[in-house]
Structure 1
Amino acid sequence: MVDISTRVYNHKWKIDPIVRSLIDTDFYKLLMCQSVFRNKPDTSVTFSLINRSTDIRLAEMVDEGELREQLDHVRSLSLRRGESTWMRGNMFYGKRQMFRSDFMEWFENLRLPAYELEKRDGQYELTFEGSWPEVMLWEIPALAILMELRSRAVLNSMKKFELQILYARAMTKLWEKIERLQPLQELKIADFGTRRRHSYLWQDWCVQAMIEGLGDKFSGTSNCHIAMQRDLEAVGTNAHELPMIYSALAETDDRLAEAPYDVLRDWHEEHEGNLRIILPDTYGTEGFLKHAPDWLAGWTGIRIDSGDPAEGAETAIGWWKSKGEDPAKKLVIFSDGLDTDKIIELHEQFSGRVRISFGWGTLLTNDFRGLTANDALAPFSLVCKAISANGKPTVKLSDNPNKAIGPESEVERYKRVFGVGEQELMEVVV
């Protein structure tokens, strides 16, 4: 096991690229990339970094030269032979050859496209523009790089024993969380923490702690590189990116209303079983389920990623019942801003009523709250989202208005088309 504090103190970060592989990314990005490669390969998309925590002035903390160095390193990466073999030959979700030969041949020859970087008002403006299958793979590396460079900026001023105590306290904090989860019967929990992790080495340590502390209750990691290295299940399905871009491409309001379901029609053709998970909140869960085609009720489950998680699960249960489905056979995946208290609460509330799984993200892999002066290592809310497709702006409404994205006029149009009324403002923790 790596001695993280010594590695930091010896200032060997230069031999540790933040992103060390094209598969140091979330599994769902690769699944979505294959779907996009098959269905909409010629779509031109722009992604942009968005720092929701505006008090964290990244451009004043992170050196531009070092940021460019890390971004340029990612552009030099290509799929290694062992990584290609793992993707081509491994079993994912009970299926071999999850990734098609034509997609793999394309991926094996891929280098990520150019980026644009500017400073504005204490923040970095980082954008990626190009064909959708290529630029979408920048999202996770870009976030991981900015998050870890911010961590390094804080750690650089700390001395040897400070670092040893810091990591000892962080390890103790995580282990105490794991101990609280150990008594939960039939718990299923996975690591979803790549995008806003403290560092690669820390995420890997957290995964190892989950393996030892939770055993079979730990169902895997979304990080493909760690899954390959640790012989774990790679987990993940799809994200808001798909309906956001399909919707931006819609020419009329009628086509816009159908776009989120068009996404799932394409997904239905490619995947089955536990990969048939509905993500309903891009334009409001209630409206999505109200107008959903009947065949979607037969899908395996649903992921709750914004709004009040208990309320979202109750809405899903009511919808399944109205469609003649047995909720006890359905899977609910909770994945928004989870920490131990909320995991325990939701497990107790829904255990036996539905099948439950948890995707534990930032507060698994980056919970250094209260461990440094001025809370300088506390996690913050950084995202990288598609902001346009073929020159048209994208929109995300979410079940929490604080997570909404898009020009005001388009947000109002989407609210009208999708019948979104008043929504409750909720704090965005991470």
Structure 2
Amino acid sequence: MKLERIINSLLEQDMYKFSMGQAIYHQFPDYKTTWTFKCRNKDVKFTEEMVQEIKDQIKAFCEIRFTEDELEYLNNIKWIKGSYVDFLRLWEPRYEDFEITTDAECGLSIETRGTWLNTSMYEIPTLAIVNEVYFRMAYDYNELIESFKEKLEEKYENLKTGRWHIGTFSEFGLRRRLSAEAQEMAVDKFSHLNDTLHSSSTFVGTSNVYLAKKNNLKPVGTMAHEWIMCTGQGNHKHNPAYSNWYALNAWVHEYGILNGTALTDTITTDCFLRDFQLTFSTLFSGVRHDSGDPIEWGEKMISHYESLGIDPNTKTLLFSDSLDFERADKIFRHFMGKAKVAFGIGTYLANDTKVPPLNIVMKTTLCNGQDVAKISDVEGKGMCKNEEYVDYLNRCIKWRMDHEK
């Protein structure tokens, strides 16, 4: 291993992995999944030296265990249950679940296979490792971190002085970060935003549980697309056009009214709204936007709440799709007074330098031996190895939308 260890704690994980992990442990412990890495940048090439470093870093990650102090921190989160904490006390990552080769156009292929309980927990650390290895080995890292600091300072000053007004926001950049150093720098910087009387925006937390613990911030995150894909499409008996119903029902079974931000675009928001009727709309505290036009989406959600007799001002619209402060400012001003608005901002806070960030993902491609897919509100964000299954899923959704009243 040529670089210093990149992942140093099993809390270096997005909060929604623990939220989903607990529900997986209690309801789907025998589900098996395959995850596949993809680099969407056409001009990026991972060298053999980088791939070896990624292997070494993932091996090092697999040697880490939770400390009692970390487990106690998780145990004090309102919706985390003692049975899940006891499971995490025994849990350990398995390097045997990884297959890492150079057999890909970008020079890096990664697949993980095993129980959903295990493989779900690999996605975020793996992406964080790939990012940091790439930027430290492909560029002069010292130059990158200096440009990051300059941009970070400029963002902070503009937010503090009120150039942008975005209400409440969180940092969501772990999987996309330039480095652990850069993410910690951003979280530390914005945690002081609330100290100033000048800022009209409030920094409420980070998805990185380790940094939330370290900085006494709120760990932020509920569910990801994998939750809807696997609960809805991983059971061979389910009609996948009802994936959202199965996912929301299982979530309420686990959490009741707690920890309730629903993700809308796994099989299109329009299909989601067929299942997000009065009970779910009442129980969930809000919804998260991750694809498509944010203004159109927000107006659609407000209309939906109003049609059910729910005051949209009692619900949160959480925006998390490719945001910067300028875009967030426009969204916030549009919805001010119409609903609660919050933002989860990733790459812009954790990897904004003089060079373009990587566009890398790691997605669930199989669950219990069968294909799963995401059909988001825009093309290009889905990922599935079997085009026939994507066609089948689209036809299921279309039939439901055309025939169900």
Q: TM-score, normalised by structure 2?
A: 0.91
1:151-176 deviation digits (Å, cap 9, x = unpaired): 11134x46xxxx3x653432221222
Aligned-partner SS, 1:42 = coil
State yes or no: 1:288 paired with 2:249: no
Distance, in Å, in 1 between the alignment partners of 2:157 and 2:397 is: 43
Q: Aligned ranges for residues 265-276 of structure 1 at < 5 Å? A: 265-273=249-257, 275-276=259-260
- Supply the AA of the counterpart residue of 1:17: R
Aligned-partner SS, 2:175 = coil
User: RMSD of the alignment, in Å?
Assistant: 2.1
- Supply the AA of the counterpart residue of 2:395: R
- The answer as to whether partners of 1:62 and 1:149 remain within 8 angstroms in 2 is no
Give 1:191 deviation, angstroms. Answer: 0.5
1:343-381 deviation digits (Å, cap 9, x = unpaired): 11111111111101000111110011xx2xxx3xx2121
Distance, in Å, in 2 between the alignment partners of 1:153 and 1:25 is: 23
Matched residue, 2:198: none
1:258 to 242, 246, 265: 242
Aligned-partner SS, 1:137 = coil
1:403-425 deviation digits (Å, cap 9, x = unpaired): 1222211111111212299xxxx
State yes or no: 1:199 paired with 2:201: no
Structure 1 269/246 Cα, relative in aligned 2: closer, same or farther at 3 Å?
closer
Distance, in Å, in 2 between the alignment partners of 1:166 and 1:295 is: 49
Distance, in Å, in 2 between the alignment partners of 1:395 and 1:402 is: 12
Moved more, 288-297 or 216-225: 288-297
- Supply the AA of the counterpart residue of 2:133: L
- The answer as to whether partners of 1:194 and 1:223 remain within 8 angstroms in 2 is yes
Distance, in Å, in 2 between the alignment partners of 1:209 and 1:13 is: 29
Aligned length: 388
Matched residue, 1:69: 56
Give 1:287 deviation, angstroms. Answer: 1.9
1:345 to 330, 355, 361: 330
Distance, in Å, in 2 between the alignment partners of 1:420 and 1:278 is: 24
Distance, in Å, in 1 between the alignment partners of 2:228 and 2:239 is: 12
1:304-353 deviation digits (Å, cap 9, x = unpaired): 01111111111101111111111121100000100111011111111111
1:419 to 395, 398, 404: 398
- The answer as to whether partners of 1:248 and 1:388 remain within 8 angstroms in 2 is no
Distance, in Å, in 1 between the alignment partners of 2:87 and 2:295 is: 41
Matched residue, 1:210: 190
Distance, in Å, in 2 between the alignment partners of 1:411 and 1:186 is: 37
Matched residue, 1:384: 362
Give 1:259 deviation, angstroms. Answer: 2.6
Give 1:62 deviation, angstroms. Answer: 5.1
State yes or no: 1:112 paired with 2:71: no
State yes or no: 1:21 paired with 2:9: yes
1:241-260 deviation digits (Å, cap 9, x = unpaired): 011112322335x6323232
Matched residue, 2:403: none
> What is the percent sequence identity of the aligned residues?
28
- Supply the AA of the counterpart residue of 2:85: M
- Supply the AA of the counterpart residue of 1:277: T
Aligned-partner SS, 1:22 = coil
1:181 to 156, 159, 170: 159
Q: TM-score, normalised by structure 1?
A: 0.86
- The answer as to whether partners of 2:2 and 2:53 remain within 8 angstroms in 1 is no
1:14-37 deviation digits (Å, cap 9, x = unpaired): 4x3111111101011011001000
Distance, in Å, in 2 between the alignment partners of 1:294 and 1:394 is: 28
Q: Aligned ranges for residues 330-341 of structure 1 at < 5 Å? A: 330-341=315-326
- Supply the AA of the counterpart residue of 1:324: G
- Supply the AA of the counterpart residue of 1:417: C
State yes or no: 1:239 paired with 2:217: no
- The answer as to whether partners of 1:247 and 1:394 remain within 8 angstroms in 2 is no
Give 1:199 deviation, angstroms. Answer: 0.5
- Supply the AA of the counterpart residue of 1:118: T
Structure 1 186/272 Cα, relative in aligned 2: closer, same or farther at 3 Å?
farther
1:394 to 366, 369, 372: 372
- The answer as to whether partners of 2:148 and 2:182 remain within 8 angstroms in 1 is no
- The answer as to whether partners of 1:280 and 1:303 remain within 8 angstroms in 2 is yes
1:204-237 deviation digits (Å, cap 9, x = unpaired): 0000110123448100111011111111111111
Aligned-partner SS, 1:383 = strand
Give 1:266 deviation, angstroms. Answer: 1.4
Gaps of at least 5 residues in structure 1 are: 1-11, 422-430
Distance, in Å, in 2 between the alignment partners of 1:212 and 1:297 is: 34
